Structure formats: C-alpha cells, structure tokens
Amino acid sequence: MKRIPSLVAASLTLALVSLTACSSDGSSDADGPVELTFWHGYTEADGDVLEQIVDDFNAAHDGEITITTQVNPWAVIDDTFLPALSADNGPEIVAMPAERLPVYADRGAFVDLDDFYDADEATPALNTGALDMVTVDGTRYGVPTGFVPLTMFYNKALFDAAGVEVPTTWDEWVTAAEALTVDQDGDGTPEQYGLALADHATVGNGVWPSLFYGNGGAIVEDGKAVVDSPENAETLEFWHDAITAGKISPTGVDGVSGDGLFSSGRAAMYIGGPWMATVSEENGVDYGIAPIPAGPQEQAASAIGVSMALTEQADQAQQEAAQEFFSYFLSQQEATTWALGSGWPPLRTDVPASDVAENPVVAALTEQAALGRPLLPGVVNSTDVLTAVDTLTQRAMAGDPVDALLAEAQTAVQAALDD
Amino acid sequence: MTTAHVDRPRKRPYRAPAPLGGRGSSGVQRTRTGSRRSRSALAFLAPALIVLAIFVVWPMVSALQMSFTDASGFGQAEWVGLDNYTRIFTDPDIRDAVVNTVVYAVLFTPTAVVVALALALLLTSDRLPLRGLFRTALFLPFIISLAVAALAWSYLIDPQVGLLHYWLRGVGIDLGNVLQDPTLAMPAVALVAVWKNFGFYMVIFMAGLQEIPGSLYEAAKMDGANAWTRFWRITLPMLSSTTAFVLIFATIAALQAFDQIYVMTGGGPYGNTQTVVMEIYESGFRKLDLGFASALSYVLLLATLVLSIVQFVFFGRREEES
C-alpha cells in the first residue's frame, strides 16, 4: 500500500516534467548576452567549418551574442521544426533545404528580411539564383548558405579502360555511356552501367529539370505550369530511347541507389551534388567533375540550395543579433572560408575561382556556378509539384506514352500552384 | 461458450441486514465504504489516467478542434468549418490513398492471420522438436523496429545489391525492381509487414489454443473425427474470440500502415503505395496543413472504429452460437 503515493507522485512528476519541457525559455536576458539557437544539418566536414564560423562569431561578440548550434540531419530538422515551432520552443535561426523555405514562409514562420537586404553591404554580390530561392512573393525570407548546380561525376578508371573522352553534348553522352556499359555474362543485365540516371526521388530533385532545361523546356515559369511542352516530350523520348536501346542506365533508380551505383563503381557517370566527392573518396573511386553535358538548346543545370531563416519566435534583440550573424556569415572572408570548408562554391560572385583553388572540387564547381538555376523558386507547394514530376519521369522511363503523361503532369503541377 | 454469471467477489464485507421499513444507519455506512473504495480505486488509476489524459485525450480533443481550422501548427489558425472534411471526400489523391489502404489491408490482414494461426497450430503440436527455439525465432521479427526491418528488406530485394535477387537469379527467376514496380510494390511492403507482425498474432493464437480443453479433442477422437474435422469443429469455434481479437488488431495495423512504406517506397512508385497515413503525414508535416491532416485522421479513426465494431459483433455472435 505504501507504493501508491510514490507511484502517483512519480507519474505527476513525469507529467510535469514533460509539460515544462515543452515550454520555451528562448527569451533573452536583459543584462546578459543575447542567446540564439541555430539548427542546421551540416554533419560532415561542412559542419566542422560552420561550427568554427559560429565559434569565431561568438568570440568576436563576447558578452553580447551567443549562438548555440544544434546539428541534426536535414530530414530530422524538417520533421522536428514544426512541432518545435508549435510548442514555441523552436530555434531562432534554422537552416533548411531551400525548396522547403517557401512553405514555412507562406505560413508566417519567418521574419521578413527585406530591410536587412537593403541595409547590408554583402548582399548585392550574392548569386542571384541563390537569392531567388529565399524570395517568396517578392519578399526575402532567408539567407542562402549554399547554392550549387548539379554536376556530372565520372569514374576516371572506367573512362581510361574504355578509352572514352568526357562528353560535352547529349549525343556524346549517350555514345560514351554505351561504350561504358558492360554486360559480361550476356544475360541482358549489364554488370556495369555507363550512366546511373535517377528517374525519381533524387536529392535536390534536380536531375530531370536539368535535362528539361538542356532542351529548352522547364517545369514552372512565372508561377505557371509549363511542363506540357513539345521540348519536354522530346527530352523524355530521347532518354527513354537511349536507356531502352543501349541499357546504358538501370531504371527505377532513386537518389540513394544512384549514389550507391556510382560509389561502388557499377556506374561510370552520375549526376549529383558536391557530397558525391566525399562519397567517392570514401569508396576509393577516382572521380572527375564535369558540367552536365549540354542539351540541344542550352547548357544548364538545376541547382541545390540551402537557406537559413529567422523564425518569428525571435524577439527584437534576437532578430538584430541574428542579422548581425547573417552579415558576418556573408562577408567576403567568411564566405571564402565557408566555401573552402564546405566544398560548395562561394555564394558571392565576387569570390573568384582562384581564391578557392586550394580545394579542386570547389574550384571546379565555382566555374560551373553560372549554369545553376534555382529549382522552383518561391513555389510554396513544391512537394506536390515534385511528386508530379517524379511520376512523370518514372512512368516515362518505364515506357508509358509521353503525351498523356505530360498532360497529366501539367494538370497536377498547375493544381499544386493554385492550391 | 456460454458463461453464467458466477463470478462474485470472494469475500464480501459483512453487512448487517437493513432494518425493515426504513433507512437505517447501514445505508449511510454503505455509501461511505463505497466512496472510500472508489477513492482508492481512483488513486490506483490516477497515474494511468493522467498519462492518458495528457498524451491521448488532450491531443485527440485538440486535433478535433484543429480539424475545423486551417492550422499550420504555429501562428493564428482560422475556423474553416467543414471545409477540410469536404476536401477529403472530393480530393482524388485521397481517394487513391483510400484505395491503396484497402488493397494493403486485403493483402496484409488475411495473410498475417492465416500464417499466424498455421504456425501457432504447428508450434503447439507435441510432435515438433525444438519448439522453444522455433517460437523464439518466429517471434523475433516482432521485436525489431519496423523501420529497421523495412530497411533490411529493401536491401535484400534491391535489384543491384540484393542477396535475394542473387539467389533467385541463380535458379533462373528475375524479380526485377520490385519496389519500383507499380504492381509488385504493394504486395512487397505488405509481405514485409506480415513477416514483421505475425509473431505477435501467433503468440496470441498459441495462448488461445492452450485454453481449449483437451477433453474435447479426446471425445472427438473417440467419435472418430479426423484432424481436419477436429480443426473445423473444435479449434476454430473455440478460438473465435481470439480470432476476433487478432483480426481487429491486424485490421487496425493495416489501416495505420506507415513505417515500412515510408522507408521502403516513400509512397511510390508514383503514388501506388501512398496510404492514408502517408497522406496524413505529408499533409501535416510536408505541406504544413495540420487542419486537413487532423480531419483525415478523424475520418480514419471513425472508419477503424466502425470496422472494429463490425468484426466484434460478427465474432461475438459466432461465439454465442457455438
């Protein structure tokens, strides 16, 4: 019988603890330094550099501003940010994949940064594509932390063995891929593919938009769906034919299995982001980086972006402190440090490739930076648009008739834009 | 099975018979002991009730309230009346998700129940050696986290690196890219869920089987009933309340399918494994449309409730008949 009170007490404490854990203590002390919490998902070498930048900033603002970082994978941030906001216990600064920013901005989660941009000296030099990704309905809600065009990784050893040059046009690309596709046992399933062309769910979702751009097509333009175009039909048919005729790439590949195919040496070419450099090194793949080969109309690549934003939970002092950090982060010196350490090209156009030459990956990507186009900038409901594009490309590669698919995708994308 | 009401408290506190024709002191006495008993009952229940109130009742109430608003989880939410509910019944994506969920339930529930029952019968048989080992081995998948199991299976059936593919190719079968195949993806995720869950149902069935008195089988044997007849005439009817329980549990699990789909296919290929709960997750956490997600949750809750009641009534009646 003695156990009852202690049980009741224990459960009450538990309940109280969980309640207090929900309540926020984000407000800043009037006397002490302004305290900011910063969530980001840079977990590799890029994370170390970002921590260093934050530490340096804290040291430079000793007693005034203290930023505490919390590192989680991007997917975890996306899953926990909403509950944290609704419990009034979110971070003041949050970094997230750029295509996720508009949906939060549209719901009023972020502070309008137009005044910051008007006042800050760093911002005119920012890559305009990166800026487009933080702009929703003409208002800037974030600061870019990364903007990089998708690029082609190729396996140098396999290229040398097949005696193939790095392709620069689509036709060369397909020819090279055919030469690099090896079906040793002749069972119709190649052991080595020339190319791993992901047809859905790629990180950054940029493979197909890049191909569409190459032939003069697009997905969304000026807030209108433009998927259903003869250019896009041609693109889909070209790649479907190339894949069926030469078996140059497996179908049904998503970003994760594409990464695996390239890093295990089973695919000679792959479209990816800067992280593929690290992945390749870890797996002992001697890789080269080249721009995505030019299409019949244009040479362009979809870009991946990451942006950080200032949440509405920040009070006035915290907002000022965060903007102080943003301008520190965007300064020419820190932007260069950040680029070198993170492996992403500099966000400022006034940092020349020669300044980042010590990191060959960054230097190569910096030269390609101008090819990058932001993916669906300002589109709030990007989830549904990308789902529609994924459906389109998967079914087209599986051999469904392209015209009907494009019409369907057009309706779905427009509905998502109107939503 | 008909049980007469014979369960009575073993010890009843002695109570003097009430004096004839009036409300005596014993009446007062009774309410006092009654309230004291209910108070101590409440004290025992309090921890559970508090936890239940905070983590179940409160979220349910606030979700119901949210389902009539355009809430996004933060900031102001506006009352939109029944808009979210009407959207559920007009949105073609939701209709597809409902169809997918039904397909999943039809694949998962009967398979899981039949496999569990068959293995339970096998494992309660005296003739099987190493029963303990088999019981443990078959129950193991249930202990593993569903996400981990799903990830392991994705690798096993991956066309590039999958071990299962390698073996099947050895005997001349090419499965193709199962999880990217619009017709095979759903059976694949359902099978993984069966593999993951049947152990739990099996244990419930085993408990039910042990409740059946052996004398029934002996009598049937003497009357010349063969194993098949004994199964249909004794085992199955005697198990009907257990079966009802397992079926209801399996149905609820099927309607709430999420983890293995999220990990294995993410709803693809092109939405062919997008279930209602996947849709709830996407509306709430991807599109920040918590109002709509709450409304969808409530509709799912009602559907689950109705199905469970129907099953309960159906098996309850069978139990009375037998």
Q: Of A345-359, A393-407, B15-29, B262-276, give the range with the top mean pLDDT.
A: A393-407
**Is residue A10 scored above 80 in pLDDT?**
no
Check: CB of residue A46 under 8 Å from CB of residue A344.
yes
User: Angle A382-397/A207-214 helices, nearest 10 degrees?
Assistant: 70
Structure tokens at B314: 């159906």
Which chain A residues are within 8 Å of B75, Cβ to Cβ?
Answer: 107-109, 312
What is the average per-residue pLDDT within A61-85? 90
Between positions 158 and 187 of B, the ones with CB within 8 A of A are 158-161, 174, 177, 179-182
Q: Is B83 on the interface with A (CB under 8 A)?
A: no
pLDDT digits (tens, 9 = 90+) for A131-179: 999 999 999 999 999 999 999 999 999 999 999 999 999 999 999 999 9
Radius of gyration, CA atoms only, chain B: 26
Mean pLDDT of the residues in chain A: 87
| Contact call for B177 and A252, based on CB within 8 A | yes
- Cα dihedral A112, A118, A121, A122 in deg (nearest 10): 40
Tell me the shortest Cα–Cα distance from B154 to chain A, in angstroms: 11
Shared domain for A119 and A239, answered yes or no, is no
Structural domain count, chain A: 2
Per-residue DSSP letter, A66? E
| Residue to test with chain A: of B56, B283, B288, most A Cβ within 10 A | B288
Q: What pLDDT score does B32 carry? A: 59
Quick one: A271 exposed, middle or buried, by C-beta within 10 A (0-12, 13-18, 19+)?
buried
Q: What pLDDT score does A189 carry? A: 79
Q: Is A4 on the interface with B (CB under 8 A)?
A: yes
Shared domain for A138 and A263, answered yes or no, is no
Q: What pLDDT score does A25 carry? A: 42
Sheet holding A151-155, edge to edge: A193-196, A267-272, A151-155, A287-290
| Contact call for B285 and A78, based on CB within 8 A | yes
Q: What pLDDT score does A163 carry? A: 92
Which chain A residues are within 8 Å of B282, Cβ to Cβ?
Answer: 383
**Is residue A20 scored above 60 in pLDDT?**
no
* CA–CA distance, A395 with B187 (Å, rounded to integer): 19
Per-residue DSSP letter, B24? -
Per-residue DSSP letter, A122? S
Q: Which residue has the higher pLDDT, A107 or A67?
A: A67
Tell me the shortest Cα–Cα distance from A19 to chain B, in angstroms: 9
Q: What pLDDT score does A351 carry? A: 86
Shared domain for A276 and A391, answered yes or no, is yes
**Is residue A94 scored above 80 in pLDDT?**
yes
Q: What pLDDT score does B17 carry? A: 54
Q: Is residue A26 part of a domain?
A: no
Shared domain for A295 and A320, answered yes or no, is no
Domain spanning B98-277, CATH architecture? Orthogonal Bundle (1.10)
Q: Which of A107, A189, A250 sits opposite B288 (nearest CB)?
A: A107
Check: CB of residue A288 under 8 Å from CB of residue A164.
no
Q: What pLDDT score does A369 carry? A: 85
Residues facing residue A163 across a β-bridge = none
Q: Is B75 on the interface with A (CB under 8 A)?
A: yes
The CATH number given to whatever domain includes residue A38 is 3.40.190.10
Q: What pLDDT score does A46 carry? A: 86
Q: Which of A15, A103, A257 sits opposite B160 (nearest CB)?
A: A257
Shared domain for A275 and A392, answered yes or no, is yes
Tell me the shortest Cα–Cα distance from A55 to chain B, in angstroms: 31
Tell me the shortest Cα–Cα distance from B52 to chain A, in angstroms: 10
Which chain B residues are within 8 Å of A264, Cβ to Cβ?
Answer: 161
Picking from A211, A208, A137, the residue whose alpha carbon sits closest to that of residue A379 is A137
Global pTM reads 0.78
pLDDT in tens, chain B (322 residues): 444 454 444 555 555 555 554 444 444 455 556 678 888 888 999 999 999 999 999 999 999 999 998 888 777 788 988 899 999 999 888 999 999 999 999 999 999 999 999 999 998 887 778 888 888 888 988 988 888 888 898 888 887 778 888 888 788 777 778 888 888 899 999 999 999 999 999 999 999 999 899 898 899 989 888 888 989 989 998 898 899 889 999 999 999 999 889 988 888 788 889 999 999 999 988 888 899 999 999 999 999 999 888 888 887 776 666 5
Tell me the shortest Cα–Cα distance from A387 to chain B, in angstroms: 8
Q: What pLDDT score does A308 carry? A: 95
* CA–CA distance, B292 with B297 (Å, rounded to integer): 9
Q: What pLDDT score does A146 carry? A: 92
| Contact call for A82 and B46, based on CB within 8 A | no
Q: Which of A78, A251, A391 sits opposite B271 (nearest CB)?
A: A391
Q: Is A391 on the interface with B (CB under 8 A)?
A: yes
User: Which residue of chain A has the CA closest to B169?
Assistant: A187
CA distances from B129 to A299, B135, B201, B217 (A): 69, 11, 22, 22
Between positions 271 and 290 of B, the ones with CB within 8 A of A are 271, 282, 284-288
| Contact call for B160 and A10, based on CB within 8 A | no
Within 8 A by CB and 6+ apart from B140, the residues are: B199
Tell me the shortest Cα–Cα distance from A299 to chain B, in angstroms: 29
Shared domain for A216 and A277, answered yes or no, is yes
**Is residue A126 scored above 50 in pLDDT?**
yes
Shared domain for A240 and A386, answered yes or no, is yes
Q: Which residue range(s) make up the domain with A219?
A: 151-301+377-418
User: Which residue of chain B has the CA closest to A379?
Assistant: B287
Q: What pLDDT score does A122 carry? A: 66
pLDDT digits (tens, 9 = 90+) for A175-222: 999 999 998 877 777 889 999 998 887 877 889 999 999 999 999 998
Tell me the shortest Cα–Cα distance from A182 to chain B, in angstroms: 15
| Residue to test with chain B: of A257, A383, A397, most B Cβ within 10 A | A257
Q: Is A385 on the interface with B (CB under 8 A)?
A: no
For the ranges A33-42, A229-238, A304-313, B27-36, which has the lowest average pLDDT? B27-36
Shared domain for A214 and A66, answered yes or no, is no
Which helix (H) or strand (E) is B287 found in, with range? none
| Contact call for B74 and A108, based on CB within 8 A | yes
Shared domain for A405 and A267, answered yes or no, is yes
Q: Is A257 on the interface with B (CB under 8 A)?
A: yes
- Cα dihedral B109, B111, B113, B115 in deg (nearest 10): -160
| Contact call for B43 and A4, based on CB within 8 A | yes
Residues facing residue A221 across a β-bridge = A224
Tell me the shortest Cα–Cα distance from A173 to chain B, in angstroms: 23
User: Which residue of chain B has the CA closest to A11?
Assistant: B47
Picking from A122, A67, A46, the residue whose alpha carbon sits closest to that of residue A337 is A46
Q: Which of B51, B266, B286 sits opposite A201 (nearest CB)?
A: B266
Per-residue DSSP letter, A294? B
Tell me the shortest Cα–Cα distance from A381 to chain B, in angstroms: 7
Q: Is B59 on the interface with A (CB under 8 A)?
A: no
Check: CB of residue B88 under 8 Å from CB of residue B296.
yes
Q: What pLDDT score does B20 carry? A: 53
User: Which residue of chain B has the CA closest to A254?
Assistant: B180
Between positions 265 and 324 of A, the ones with CB within 8 A of B are 266, 312
Shared domain for A118 and A247, answered yes or no, is no
Shared domain for A173 and A144, answered yes or no, is no
CA distances from A127 to A134, B231, B235 (A): 12, 75, 74
* CA–CA distance, A267 with A193 (Å, rounded to integer): 5
Picking from A364, A375, A178, A151, the residue whose alpha carbon sits closest to that of residue A271 is A151
Tell me the shortest Cα–Cα distance from B195 to chain A, in angstroms: 24
Q: What percent helix, strand, coil does chain B show, rounded to 5?
A: 70, 0, 30
Predicted confidence band of residue A28 (pLDDT cuts 50, 70, 90): very low
Picking from B264, B267, B301, the residue whose alpha carbon sits closest to that of residue B286 is B267
Shared domain for A288 and A160, answered yes or no, is yes
